[in-house]
Each structure stands twice: as C-alpha cells, then as structure tokens.
Structure 1
Amino acid sequence: MSRTAHIRGSRLATAGIAATTAALLATALSPAAHAEGRPTRATAIQHAATALVDHAAALGLTSAEQAAVRDVIVDKDGTQHVRYDRTYHRLPVLGGDFVVHLTPAGAYRGANRASRGTVSLPSTTPQVSAPKAAGLAVNALRAANLGDRLQQVKAKPQLIVDALHGALRLAWRTNAVGLDSLGNPVARTVLTDARTGAQIDAWDSIETATGDGKSLYSGTVGLETTQSGSTYQLKDPTRGNTYTGDAANKTDLCFLGICFQRAPATLFTDADNHWGTGTTADRSSAAVDAQYGTNETWDYYRYVHGRNGIAGDGKGSYNRVHYGSNYNNAFWDDSCFCMTYGDGDGTTFGPLVALDVAGHEMTHGVTSKTAALTYSGESGGLNEATSDILGTLVEWYANNSSDPGDYLIGEKIVRSGFGKTALRYMDQPSKDGSSADYWSSSVGNLDVHYSSGVANHFAYLLAEGSGPKTINGVSYNSPTYNGSTVTGIGRDKLGQIWYRALTVYMTSSTNYAGARTATLNAAKDLYGAGSTEYNAVAAAWSAVNVN
C-alpha cells in the first residue's frame, strides 16, 4: 500500500491519508511509539499531512506535485519529524525532499528543504531520447573505467526533475552497469540534461568503502543461530532474521532494482553450532565475521539510537561473503537490502569481512532511509563521512579486545601492497595522501572518499579534541585550521549529535555549511543552545574551516 499523500490544489486528498494511515498502522508502528503517551508514527504522519495543506505555499508544493513519506522520527517529548520525497507530474524530483517538524501537539514548527523555490517546468517532454541518454551514460561508465574492458554493459534511463544542481530542469537519471575484466560489478549514475544532452553530474552507484575493516580477527564471538532439524543456520531470529550466505565467488548485474544476474547467498549451515576456524581455509570463517558485524551494528543503532533495524522497521538485512574474484571491496545495496563482501586480492587488501566494514556499509543503508545524501559533491563526502563516523562508533560500541576502538579506517585489512597503515585517518585525514583536512571551495570536486575528510576531522575533534594524545595504544595528533585548541566532548555525544542531525535535519543536498547548521540544531535540541556541547560543535567546525 502506498505511503503517498496527494496534493490537490489547496486540499489534501483524504484517500491518500487513509491509505497512509492504514499502511503505517499495519507495518510501521514500533512498541516505543506508544511510550509515555507520545504520538505514534501514524499520528505524526496525520499531523504532517495537515501541515502540508496549511503550509503548501511555504513548502513550495503545488497541485502538480505529490509527497511520499520516507521516514518518521518521534522524539521522547513527542516532537515529530516527518521526511518526504517529492514528485512533479509523477516524475521524481532530485533535491525535492524535505522534513516537516511538528510540536508534541502536532502544530507545524518549520521545515528543512533540500532545495528552495517552486517546482515548475514548461514541459515534461524530453528533447533527448531515452536511448540517447542511455548511450551517453554507457560512455561515461567506460570513461570512468578507462583501461578496463567492460562486459555486459547495460543502461536504463529514468526521467526526473533536477532541483539539486542550480536551475530547475528536466533530466535523465541513468544507471549504467557492467562487469570488469575480472567479472566484478561496476556501476555509475549519470545525470543528463533532457533538453541539451549535457552531462549535469555523475557518481559511482555502488556506495563503497574500499577496504574498510579488518580480516578474520574478531576473535571468538557469540552468535544467535536458528536450528533446523539436525543442523544450525547462520540466521539470527533476535535481529530481524539477519543471515549470512555464500556468494560462491559470483557477481550481480543489476540496475534500477532489476537484476539480470544475481550472485547467490546460500545460507551457511553447521552441524554443531561451532562456526569457522578463524582462517580463510574455512569459508564459514568469513561468514562469522560478517554476521558478527551485522549483530553489533544492529545493536548499536537499537540500543544507542533507538532505531529498530537499518530501515527502522525491524527488518533484518542479509550478508553475502566470498563475492567476485579477488574483489577489493564491500558494499551495501538497497535493491537487495543486503551487505556484500569481497575476499580481497591478498596483496593490497585481505578479506573485507570486518566489524567496521559492517558498521560503515550498513550505515549507508541508514543514510538512504533518512537524509539520502546525494553521492556526489559535498553531500557525497558527508554520505561517506557519516558511514566512517557511525561505523567507527560501532567498533567502539562493540568493545572487542581483539579489535579495540580507534579512529583509523581499514587499518586491519591493508596489506604491504597498499603502502599505508590505514585507508583513512580521522585525526588528520591528509595523512592518507588524498583526503582533505579542512574545507575549501574545491572540496566538492574531490572523490567522496576524500572530501569526507573534512567531516571525519570534525568528528574526531568533537569527540577527542585537538593536539597529540594516545588512545587505546594509538598515537594521534589532530591539528586545526585556525590554530585553535578544541576540547572534545566524548564519542557518545558525537554519535548522538551526528545521528540526530542526519535523521532530523539533513536532506539530500546538505553541504558542509548545512551540516554545521544541522549539527548545531541537533546539539541545541539535545543539550541546549549555548551549552558546552553546542559551543564544542561550533568550535570543531571552525577548526576545519566550516564557518
């Protein structure tokens, strides 16, 4: 059943609200929604629907548009935040998302919008054909993988309205996919002006953290499994039936939710409920790490942030290990709601089944279900940084003596062929040779894994402060842009502030200036304006030149 509220002139169609309410009552209510007399999720959506009618002009909504609920947050005091996606004449609006904020009584308090202005186009008929847009996207995919002979390349365009890149325009959003020479997947989303054929933007479609995490070194960990007859399945009934399967070194070929080829996820089973040997000689060892990472990530979001699963609906994701041929990557895929791990090539990286890999990649799923930060420019850097920040906090939360918490990204899985001791360094991102320590007007032109350095540096400073120090046996020395001394407020408060900013205030177009505002708003909500925490957020952003 659709969760779509239809705008019809100045009134909201009651059928749309009825469908929304019924769907949410059936599927979206959590036990916590009724605690302490707070409004339920369904009630919050009803309040927000009224606000859409009463404040349509302020939100830029017209009779040509529809607004669909993406996410709902109800604070402990009953304050409500309802996040919407927008369509225009049934076309998705990139940068059209917004969050409506309501008082505990349901009164409209304000909104955050990804873009300003009213969506209006003279025509929704493209002058560039869909096949032409597909061809341009294929060329862009080949150009991005120059030197590799791609196979089975396909592309499927979708007509959208682009409100994210300056002047409003009709555009084709095309996902081009293929396989590289080793049979591993490559994918790129290309945004093309539907009137001129000019490329507006392009970004990698597989959200990755190449090599983040560690090898098979999580030690002996407890696992919840499912007994089936005389065997046990690596499926956790206590965490939404999350499970781990063997991809058999095969790969996917999917785009826009349509799969022409899907790697398997053959469920791991065991006779005595004792899994793996801690070595790569046993294929189930990698599965143990993947399942453990899923468990710790689930628990972190559940017990620290009150989020019931990646999508907040109690549904468990699943894992595929041993994916591809010497695949130096791991990725989250919304289309399967699953995590996928490569084995690495043994020279640059070892197997990518690791605790902070799971935390990083599954946080991409959380971001997708909340702010949906666009995976290019400054918003793309914030997307990657969100996964680094919260993924690192998962590692600290797990408190595993075999992998103590740290602010190094991927330090356990790098091999001698990589040439560095970690993938990324949160205390001083430039130590990786590519990442930015501080904001500048050119940051948005960097690869998103490197533009993320500004937010990673902010997060470290906010948690631990500036200057030299040793934490858990690791030496750090975090400088500041303005020569200031920053005093940290601790990891727990960093996590609370960043998560609230992500889920309540950020939108698809949030840039670094917007992230400063979002985190200050979050700190004000949690600790009060002018509090030590609020002032620390401001100081940490200034220390990375975001003012």
Structure 2
Amino acid sequence: MPRSTRTRRTAAAAGAVAAAAALLATGLTTGTAGAADAADTAASATPAKLSPSHRAELLREANDTTARTASTLGLGAQEKLVVKDVIKDGDGTTHTRYERTFAGLPVLGGDLITHESKGGKLKGVTKATKATIKVASTRARLVPSTAERAAIKAAQADDAKLAKADKAPRKVIWAADGKPTLAYEAVVGGLQADGTPNELHVITDANTGKELFTFQGVKNGTGSSQYSGEVELGTAKEGSGYTLTDSERGGHKTLDLRNGQGSQGEAFTDDDDKWGTGKPEDAQTAAVDAHYGAALTWDYYKSVHGRDGIKGDGQGATSNVHYGQNYSNAFWQDSCFCMTYGDGEGNTHPLTSIDVAAHEMTHGVTSATANLTYSGESGGLNEATSDIFATAVEFNADNGEDVGDYLIGEEIDIRGDGSPLRYMDKPSKDGSSLDNWDENAGDVDVHYSSGIANHWFYLASEGSGAKEINGVAYDSPTVDGSKVEGIGRDKAEKIWFKALTTYMTSNTDYAAAREATLKAATDLYGADSAEVKGVDAAWAGVGVK
C-alpha cells in the first residue's frame, strides 16, 4: 500500500490504455428517475444482500446461459463468456460480469457486464473495449521462452531481485488497446526493490516480441491492539488453546511470518484467548490489529453493501503479519488470497491500523469485481478505491482510539514525523499525489494518481472549503475555484461501490469513472437528483468533465 516501485509502461502502452479505458460502452441506462421518490429509487437500485447460496445459484444460472448471452451480444463464433461475478439490485435487476475467451485463449481487456431486468430483458451492456475480438491466427511466430526472457529482463530493469518466471508464459489475446493482438503473458516472481513480493505481468506480442504492457499483480493494503485500544476478536478453540480464526467471518485467519519473506505463516495460539499487550514488542499485538481490521472491513461490506466477504461467497481470506525486517509496507496478493503487513522502521510501527487493513482487503474486492488493471489511470482508480473504502470502514468502525478521518495511514507514522501517508482533501500535501486530473495522469505512479479520485471522494462527501470534522481541520480546493456542496459520505461511498461493481471494467480510466459514478448515482437517486449533480460537480472540481 504505502511505498511501491513505479510500474513500468512503454509510452505506446500508456497511450493505448488511456484510449482503451475510455471505452465504457453501455446500452440503455438503468436509471429509474421519475415518479418514485428518492428513497424508493435508492432502495430499488441498491445491491441486495445475497447469501452465499443465493449468489451461487445466480452464478449457476448465468453459467448455464453463457452461449445464449454471447449470441444476444453478437459475439463471434470463436468467443465464449466466462462468468466472474453477479450483483442483484433490490428491484431484481441483475448485473453479471464476464471475462471472455477467443479460440480458447483468455482475452485480456475483453471483460464486460450485462444488465438485465427482473424479467430477464437485456437493458444494457458495459464493455472494456468496443473492438471486435479477432486475430488473423492463434499460431505464434515466437516460442514462449522468448517472451519469458523478455519478461525477466523487464523485471530486472525495475531492480527486481531473484527475478524468475513463476510459470511458463501463457498465450492470450491482448485487447486493452482496442486492437486485439496475439500475445504472451509472463509473470515474473522474486522480490521488488523494496522487498515486496514480485508478480510482474509482462504482455509481449507473440509475433514481433514487442513489449505491449506491464502491470504489477501485488497490490500495495478481546485483544490489546496498538492502534485501536481494547477490541473484541473472532477466535476459535483448537486443542487446549485458541487461534486467530474468525468462524463468524468465513474462517478468516491471521498468521505469523516471524519476519520471514514467505507467504506461509504459522498460526498464533493463546491459552486464555486474551491477545497482545498493545505494545509492538509482543508479537500478538500486530496480529490483534490486523485481525480486528479484517473483521471491521468484513462487517462494513456486509452491513453497508450486502457483500458477504471479499468475493461475495462467504469465504474468509488470510492476514499475514511480521513480514520481513523493518519493512514499511503492506500488500494484497490474489495468488494466496491474503494481505501481508510489515512491521515498519525498527519493527516498531506495524502497518496494521484500521485503514491500512481495510485498504488491503479492498484490493481483493476490486480484484473480484472490476479488476482494475494495476497500471496507468485504472491503477490509480484501483488504489483510490482502497483508500475510499479504507476511509469508509474507519468512519463506520466508530472506534474511539482511531476515529474516522479523511487521512490515510495517520496511525502508522511511516514518515517518522507523525504525518499521514495521504490526505484526501488536498492530496498534494503529501508532496507527490495529484489533486486534479491532467493528460499525464496515466504516467504517474498509481499511488499518486489515486489522489484525483481521493480528492473527488472528499469533495463529493464533504464539499469544498475549510471545515473541521472529528477534530481534524480540512480545506479542500477545486481546480477551477468552484464551490462544491457535499452529498454526504454515506451516499458517496454507496455510489462508488455501485459504480465499481456494476459499471467499471478492467480498463476504466478517469473519464469512464465519471460516467460510471453518474450512472450509479442516477440508478440510486434519480437522473435529476441532487446526488447526481453533486457527483458531477465533484468531478468538475478535480478537472474531470
């Protein structure tokens, strides 16, 4: 989450993704503005709370009809749809997210979402690309080992350590730049320059050997806690003692890496079910904070958005604490369905505060839904999504020791001077983040281009100008000097969640994110609502029009 080496991108790839990301193609809008009052409109468009079994049933139904859906959408004979996720609104509207294959090959950047009425009528479709998926041949001129060597060289150029391919490159169709290309995708492992595990995805033209794109697969995310005081924990009785296994939240586990750099931790055990001392010298303390943060995040998604766990399937993930020595970072990995936390400088400030835990866990939610590519503008949106919901979880927790604010990482003191890692009211206060969008936003490190959406969220929630919230002073400007009236944080986070899960795709950029949130606000509150106007005004305030 905090510091990360900058993801490499060729100039051509940067421009290609910026162009492709703007392609948010939709059919009929799903807005229901009109006679219904705002409350009824919001209730009908809000995601329904699905039990894991109900969600599984909807997924089975979608899987049974993929061929028919592909035909309805006019896809080619060699294209097939693979169901990834499903969201059902209160009015029965179903949003089904698909990945695509061509001649049996995965299509990267070919994901799409269908929007169907309660009666099964197709109301619209959101696509990552408008391009027809077709290549002249699926026979590659280059052998996989050529792509593997190029990928390792790309990782080494980023100062990666122990760079090696995790597995043989796979053949794919690269469609994110609007022109489908036969390619290889190689994943290089080892360690990044700062010690973070490496999962660098390198996309190489399978006929010419040209590097098309790169992105990083690792997203940088009763006990006595260090940051939140005395807290309740979900634990399990095992043998004569207890472990940090939360059976109420899908069996989520918190494990001890003992300052190693692997991904297989050991279980914490305790005889009396009283964990930690609130001091970093006690190894259990960091585990208490991480376990508590994961529980708060789980509860937030379930109570506010009706989502039962990261994937919506009721299954818990894993939290790993005590990664490395003096490691000032935290990260999420899809490969192990886990979040991992370092102990900070001097191993005394573990990165396990509420907002950091929620940030990392939200990377999992993003991966399971829009799967925003972790590079360029979509990467900035990926990071911002984690910051937005980290803030929402912290406010929702209502913890007296770590009160809700629009600061990220204010508890972990990663800079050593007591300052936060990021500021949402004016992101540039951290010295690196962008306050507003410009044409170079896609070339900025994703942790800094995220400032644009973070700033949008603050403006949409609270409005512009000076104010004090929970004892913290804010003064949020706009790019054009306009005054923005906030619609309230609760509404802003519901709009962002609906946009993420219903209208954003892997290639969404800032212009497309604006359209996605306007559609979400229309669905929830009506086309002429104050909420739609507030969303639009906030985007204008950060230069996205």
TM-score (norm 2): 0.86
The corresponding residue for 1:524 is 522
C-alpha distance in structure 2 between counterparts of 1:230 and 1:510, whole Å? 51
Cα 1:415–1:72 change in 2 (3 A) is closer
Tell me whether 1:235 sits opposite 2:234 in the alignment. no
Between stretches 516-525 and 125-134, larger displacement belongs to 125-134
The corresponding residue for 2:377 is 378
The corresponding residue for 1:445 is 443
% identity of equivalent residues: 51
Q: Which amino acid aligns with 2:261?
A: T
Which among 69, 79, 91 is matched to residue 65 of structure 1? 79
Query: For residues 127-206 of structure 1, what are the structure 2 equivalents within 5 Å?
Result: 127-145=141-159, 150-151=161-162, 153-156=164-167, 157-179=169-191, 185-206=197-218
C-alpha distance in structure 2 between counterparts of 1:526 and 1:44, whole Å? 26
Q: Please tell me whether the aligned partners of residues 48 and 100 of structure 1 are also in contact (alpha carbons under 8 angstroms).
A: no
Q: Following TM superposition, by how much is the alpha carbon of 1:46 offset from its aligned partner in structure 2, in angstroms?
A: 6.8
Q: How many residues align?
A: 493
Q: Please tell me whether the aligned partners of residues 170 and 184 of structure 2 are also in contact (alpha carbons under 8 angstroms).
A: yes
Q: Please tell me whether the aligned partners of residues 172 and 191 of structure 1 are also in contact (alpha carbons under 8 angstroms).
A: yes
Question: Where does the alignment leave 5 or more consecutive residues of structure 2 unmatched?
Answer: 1-48
Q: Which amino acid aligns with 2:198?
A: V
The corresponding residue for 1:304 is 304
SS of the residue 1:185 aligns to? coil
Q: Deviations over 1:61-96 (max 9, x none)?
A: 111111110000111110111100001111111110
Q: Following TM superposition, by how much is the alpha carbon of 1:183 offset from its aligned partner in structure 2, in angstroms?
A: 6.1
Cα 1:497–1:47 change in 2 (3 A) is farther
C-alpha distance in structure 2 between counterparts of 1:515 and 1:51, whole Å? 29
Q: Following TM superposition, by how much is the alpha carbon of 1:216 offset from its aligned partner in structure 2, in angstroms?
A: 2.1
C-alpha distance in structure 2 between counterparts of 1:423 and 1:344, whole Å? 13
Which among 93, 102, 112 is matched to residue 116 of structure 2? 102
Q: Please tell me whether the aligned partners of residues 44 and 80 of structure 1 are also in contact (alpha carbons under 8 angstroms).
A: no
Task: Give the ranges of 4+ consecutive aligned residues of structure 1 lying more than 6 Å apart after TM superposition.
Answer: none
Query: For residues 433-472 of structure 1, what are the structure 2 equivalents within 5 Å?
Result: 433-472=431-470
C-alpha distance in structure 2 between counterparts of 1:204 and 1:136, whole Å? 16
Between stretches 377-386 and 350-359, larger displacement belongs to 350-359
The corresponding residue for 2:73 is 56
Q: Please tell me whether the aligned partners of residues 248 and 264 of structure 1 are also in contact (alpha carbons under 8 angstroms).
A: no
Cα 1:367–1:125 change in 2 (3 A) is same
Q: Please tell me whether the aligned partners of residues 326 and 342 of structure 1 are also in contact (alpha carbons under 8 angstroms).
A: yes
C-alpha distance in structure 2 between counterparts of 1:163 and 1:182, whole Å? 32
Cα 1:144–1:368 change in 2 (3 A) is same
Q: Please tell me whether the aligned partners of residues 420 and 432 of structure 1 are also in contact (alpha carbons under 8 angstroms).
A: no
Question: Where does the alignment leave 5 or more consecutive residues of structure 1 unmatched?
Answer: 1-28, 210-214, 253-262
Q: Deviations over 1:109-134 (max 9, x none)?
A: 11000001211101112223211111
The corresponding residue for 1:289 is 289
Q: Following TM superposition, by how much is the alpha carbon of 1:159 offset from its aligned partner in structure 2, in angstroms?
A: 1.5
Cα 1:420–1:287 change in 2 (3 A) is closer
SS of the residue 2:249 aligns to? coil
The corresponding residue for 2:231 is 221
Q: Please tell me whether the aligned partners of residues 151 and 181 of structure 1 are also in contact (alpha carbons under 8 angstroms).
A: no
Q: Deviations over 1:523-545 (max 9, x none)?
A: 01111011010110011011111
The corresponding residue for 1:431 is 429
C-alpha distance in structure 2 between counterparts of 1:82 and 1:416, whole Å? 43
Q: Which amino acid aligns with 2:175?
A: A
Query: For residues 470-509 of structure 1, what are the structure 2 equivalents within 5 Å?
Result: 470-509=468-507
Q: Please tell me whether the aligned partners of residues 106 and 173 of structure 2 are also in contact (alpha carbons under 8 angstroms).
A: yes
Which among 256, 264, 267 is matched to residue 246 of structure 1? 256
Query: For residues 35-54 of structure 1, what are the structure 2 equivalents within 5 Å?
Result: 41-42=58-59, 45=62, 49=66, 52-54=69-71
Q: Please tell me whether the aligned partners of residues 434 and 450 of structure 1 are also in contact (alpha carbons under 8 angstroms).
A: yes
SS of the residue 1:238 aligns to? helix
Q: Please tell me whether the aligned partners of residues 52 and 313 of structure 2 are also in contact (alpha carbons under 8 angstroms).
A: no
Tell me whether 1:116 sits opposite 2:115 in the alignment. no
TM-score (norm 1): 0.86
Q: Deviations over 1:29-63 (max 9, x none)?
A: 944887xxx99625862796476155232xxx111
C-alpha distance in structure 1 between counterparts of 2:448 and 2:276, whole Å? 35
Larger RCO (alpha carbons 8 Å, 6+ apart): 2
C-alpha distance in structure 1 between counterparts of 2:98 and 2:445, whole Å? 28
The corresponding residue for 1:277 is 277
C-alpha distance in structure 2 between counterparts of 1:134 and 1:320, whole Å? 30
The corresponding residue for 1:264 is 264
Query: For residues 3-82 of structure 1, what are the structure 2 equivalents within 5 Å?
Result: 30-31=50-51, 41-42=58-59, 45=62, 49=66, 52-57=69-74, 61-82=75-96
Q: Which amino acid aligns with 1:117?
A: A
C-alpha distance in structure 1 between counterparts of 2:476 and 2:424, whole Å? 9
Q: Please tell me whether the aligned partners of residues 39 and 104 of structure 1 are also in contact (alpha carbons under 8 angstroms).
A: no
